[in-house]
Structure 1
Amino acid sequence: MFKALKSRNFKLFFYGQSVSVIGTWLQKTAVSWMVYSITGSVFLLGLATFLSMIPSLFLAPIAGSIIGRYNRHRSMMILQSLAMLQAGALALLIYFKVYNITFILGLSFIQGVINAFDMTCRQTMMVDIVDNKDDLPNAVALNSTLTNFARISGPALAGIILHNYGEDICFIGNFLSYIPVLISLSLMKIKKEAKATNKLQLLDDFIEGLDYVKKEGEMAKMLLMLTCSSLFVISFNTLIPVFAKDIFNGNAQTFSWFESAAGIGAIISAIYLANIKSVENINKVMIGASVILGFSILVIAISSNIIITLLCMILSGIGMMGQTSSINIYIQTKSSSKMRSRSISYYMMAFQGMIPVGSLIIGYLSHRIGTRNTVAIQGIICLISVVVYLYYENQKKTSKQNTCPVHYKVNP
């Protein structure tokens, strides 16, 4: 399970990130709880998520073109430094009790701009920091495992800090968590990449990348599946504070239980993915995970028992991680070296870019028809998307069978 850690650079990356991602979840949990507590508005809760992620929809293709041409290691250092400055600005704002929702939303947008480049760079750099390319799927899964360990410990720790010390400590903790990342990046020894000889042409690069994805038929279908899920399904997480505070009459600690439960499920899924020996049938993992995700969301929508709801949050974490990471692994392993950064940028568009749009839609729909009805619709959409995917898979197999040459047996 830990074979990718044999690579020195990946080991440094893994250890540095182990601290940073906890800080990220401290801040994410604190922002969600603080925005909803200050305003009591589901719409503004969705808007905060929207602003922190929407830049990926528009900037990911640009990031894919730029990062494919420049030193990814150096770019990562710059981007992490900028993220540290953003975290520091937010920490100062909250430390001095400036609870200005406009400032908070503005800094969330700046974070989204940085993340649009950072996430694309981070995923593209994975191939540079793993010595044995056969260990790449394991590295992707380990990185997901790390993120979701933080998803458990981060919100749980944030719940304790919010309840006992206040939100400013969460933001200061995130600011300090960038120090280990910058140290680990500075210690890496990565071979210099060959500089791109052709000029940067964003539109041409975008069209070329789309043509490549279309030709890779399975990749295109997976990205469409992810787009649908990010837009209509995964955004149900935006409503978790509503379940914690209003439906189950809880507090910040209750909210952290929901986040941690989803994190436990994601870890289970990531551990399974880290141990797979072949990626040839990774689409079957994606289909199974999508079914689990849709089913669990449906039960969450109708459940009035917090234990059952938390168990289904675990299942939703399994499904969500299985779906998104299996698609990530497929793209990382199947993309050509020339097109990898652009393929990953489309993954970021479909995943990170569509979630904020979905968050706004879900926030508005929840306001109109209620939270439970909205989440039920999301579960149904997830299951329908699986049926549509399987239908086109079957069509492809039927088409292949019909085009196969018929061999006649000739008697002597």
Structure 2
Amino acid sequence: MLLIIGWQTYNLARDGGMSVGEASGQLALVGLLQFLPLFILTPFTGLAADLFDRRNLARLTLLGQIACAGVLAAATWQDAMSLPLLFGVAIVLGVVRAFAGPAYSALAPNLVPPKLLPQAIALSSIAWQTGSIVGPAMGGYLYVVAPALPYVVAAALFGVALIGITAIKDLPPRKPRSKEAPIKQIRDGLIYVRDNKMVLSTITLDLFAVFLAGATALFPVFARDILQVGATGLSQLAMAPAVGAAATALLFSFRPLKSNVGPMMLIAVAVFGLATIGFAFSRSMVLSLALLFVVGAADMFSVYIRQSLIQLHTPDEKRGRVSSVSQLTISASNEFGDFFSGSLAFLIGPVAAVALGGVGAVITVGLWTVLFPVLRTTRTFEPPEELQEHEHTQSLIQEKKDTKPGTEGT
């Protein structure tokens, strides 16, 4: 759905007489409008994921996305699409995704044992990336058949996801809600991220690397005016990194990474930056697709390690808040990164903007290697012993409470 939003935004701008740079600026605005709600709401959405049933939050976010897809489908069908409408939907999607990210991330560790979490994250990533492959593959071609069709299909698929979330019935009992003031709980979550160097370093590495080297927002520019491959080519450009990511996730589902996880994450981000530089200068569709495949594979390599480390190095009662901070940085690197890339393309052109971003990602790896020694020294996903003992103690306390008459987990 986001791919077609970008495509329609860019085409409306270009057909309205804007230059390539000016139309790139409209893509930047779409990214900014999605990021701002996430930036404002993130502290509260993380707390919501820790206080309320995460399944219900997920259901509400899916209903919101169904509504957005329906509005866009109707406007496109009636030939009433406009830039203000696209910008308005971008804001709503930003709000919805602000609540969705922490809810989904914090829910996963409740569904599988800790030892199986890295494999579960890999399998979840396969499902996600499969959607990222099939979605863009369908999106461009469906748009050629009927411009409203991608949104109709998106609404239907969100409905399928809603059925899946509803099917989750039983979860392990959660600790009673904290009686502390909400602001203090939010502050505690932020302090935990700040003080845990492992969590802080992995979150911020992704933030700066992807923020600088994000090329996806400019795919419509490359598809229409640089590679000149049209809507179907746009689908292929969007598919290529997703295929690389899915292949990497599939590999990890069978052969999970067990050693040198920190150094491997640094290497993966460096490769991500180098492949992005190559894509910027490529004028061959085949070479561009190959480089984007590498971009996606390297990004998934990094995501797999980052998510595993964050989830396993965070106590359950703080996972929602920590996940919300992680979600904010992901959004900053993606949506706000789209704004940065589009703005930079407006100033210096799309090719220079993408290339400069790739250089920035490589420089970030060098800096983080020095600033956060924990990244280059971390060998396994195992959390520190004190956290394992804390989780075990909390589990025993909860079991005792659950055995008391009239006591139920929340």
The equivalent position to 1:133 in structure 2, one of 108, 114, 118, is 114
Partner of 1:60: 42
1:95 offset after TM fit, Å? 2.0
Partner of 2:386: none
User: Where does 1:34-73 land on structure 2 (aligned, <5 Å)?
Assistant: 34-40=8-14, 41-73=23-55
Separation in structure 1 between the aligned mates of residue 367 and residue 163 of structure 2, nearest angstrom:
47
Q: Retained in 2: the 8 A contact 1:328–1:347?
A: no
Partner of 1:353: 332
Q: Retained in 1: the 8 A contact 2:344–2:353?
A: yes
Aligned-residue CA RMSD (Å): 2.0
Separation in structure 1 between the aligned mates of residue 162 and residue 330 of structure 2, nearest angstrom:
26
The equivalent position to 1:389 in structure 2, one of 359, 368, 377, is 368
Q: SS in structure 2 opposite 1:338?
A: helix
Matched AA of 1:93: A
Separation in structure 2 between the aligned mates of residue 395 and residue 218 of structure 1, nearest angstrom:
6
Partner of 1:287: 266
Partner of 2:353: 374
User: Where does 1:145-294 land on structure 2 (aligned, <5 Å)?
Assistant: 145-163=126-144, 165-191=145-171, 192-202=173-183, 204-233=184-213, 235-277=214-256, 281-294=260-273
Greater shift after overlay, 359-368 or 374-383? 359-368
1:122 offset after TM fit, Å? 0.8
Partner of 1:78: 60
Greater shift after overlay, 322-331 or 343-352? 322-331
Residue deviations 1:185-213 (CA, integer Å, cap 9, x gap): 222222353430314423x2232122212
Query: Percent same amino acid among aligned pairs?
Result: 21
1:393 offset after TM fit, Å? 4.4
Q: Retained in 2: the 8 A contact 1:292–1:318?
A: no
- Judged with a 3 Å threshold, the aligned counterparts in structure 2 of structure 1 residues 305 and 226 are, in CA distance, closer, same or farther, namely same
Separation in structure 1 between the aligned mates of residue 329 and residue 245 of structure 2, nearest angstrom:
19
Where does structure 1 lack aligned partners over 5 or more consecutive residues? 1-26, 399-412
Partner of 1:89: 71
Greater shift after overlay, 140-149 or 84-93? 84-93
Q: SS in structure 1 opposite 2:121?
A: helix
Aligned residue-pair number:
368
TM-score (norm 2): 0.84
Matched AA of 2:247: I
Q: SS in structure 2 opposite 1:54?
A: helix
Partner of 1:114: 96
Separation in structure 1 between the aligned mates of residue 269 and residue 61 of structure 2, nearest angstrom:
33
- Judged with a 3 Å threshold, the aligned counterparts in structure 2 of structure 1 residues 147 and 38 are, in CA distance, closer, same or farther, namely same
Partner of 1:344: 323
Runs (4+) of structure 1 exceeding 6 A deviation are 395-398
Q: Retained in 1: the 8 A contact 2:209–2:273?
A: no
Q: Retained in 2: the 8 A contact 1:282–1:330?
A: no
Q: SS in structure 1 opposite 2:148?
A: helix
Separation in structure 2 between the aligned mates of residue 259 and residue 82 of structure 1, nearest angstrom:
24
Q: Retained in 1: the 8 A contact 2:263–2:375?
A: no
Q: Retained in 2: the 8 A contact 1:54–1:354?
A: no
- Judged with a 3 Å threshold, the aligned counterparts in structure 2 of structure 1 residues 376 and 99 are, in CA distance, closer, same or farther, namely same
Q: SS in structure 2 opposite 1:239?
A: helix
1:351 offset after TM fit, Å? 0.8
Q: Retained in 2: the 8 A contact 1:127–1:136?
A: yes
Q: SS in structure 1 opposite 2:81?
A: coil
Separation in structure 2 between the aligned mates of residue 248 and residue 160 of structure 1, nearest angstrom:
18
- Judged with a 3 Å threshold, the aligned counterparts in structure 2 of structure 1 residues 187 and 242 are, in CA distance, closer, same or farther, namely same
Partner of 1:323: 302
Residue deviations 1:216-264 (CA, integer Å, cap 9, x gap): 212111122122123212x221111111111112200111111111111
Greater shift after overlay, 116-125 or 317-326? 317-326
The equivalent position to 2:124 in structure 1, one of 130, 143, 149, is 143
- Judged with a 3 Å threshold, the aligned counterparts in structure 2 of structure 1 residues 397 and 236 are, in CA distance, closer, same or farther, namely closer
Where does structure 2 lack aligned partners over 5 or more consecutive residues? 15-22, 378-410
Matched AA of 1:29: L
Q: SS in structure 2 opposite 1:158?
A: helix
Q: 1:307 aligned to 2:286?
A: yes
1:336 offset after TM fit, Å? 0.9
Q: Retained in 2: the 8 A contact 1:230–1:352?
A: no
TM-score (norm 1): 0.84
